[in-house]
Amino acid sequence: MGGSRTAFAWLLGIEDVAIGISTSGGSANILSALAEARKRGLLTVGLAGYDGGRIVGERLADHAVVVRSDYIPRIQEVQASIYHTLRGLMESAKAV
């Protein structure tokens, strides 16, 4: 495994939360990153479209948020909103 599949693996630390975003729920680099994050004991969150794909099917995320749609632009705009909301919540919790 190399290239984009491992590009960010070294950035993960135990205090981090790994958020994987995949329109299909089956992007190889996201699946690999979530698997690595779980091995390192991180909390994992998966954002996926359609039926959740492999993120849900293989239980690669502690928490999966599935945008149940097959319309790609809709999936991606909802995922962007969810991501920004999660980031805001994490930043607020960090400040406390």
Cα–Cα dist 4/17, whole Å: 19
pLDDT of residue 12: 53
Number of domains in the chain: 1
Question: 16-75 pLDDT, tens per residue?
Answer: 888 999 999 999 999 999 998 899 889 999 999 999 999 999 999 999 999 999 999 999
pTM for the whole structure: 0.81
pLDDT of residue 11: 56
CATH number for the domain spanning 38: value is 3.40.50.10490
| DSSP 8-state class, residue 49 | E
Question: 3-25 pLDDT, tens per residue?
Answer: 444 445 555 555 788 899 999 99
> Which of 25, 20, 53 minimizes the C-alpha distance to 38?
20
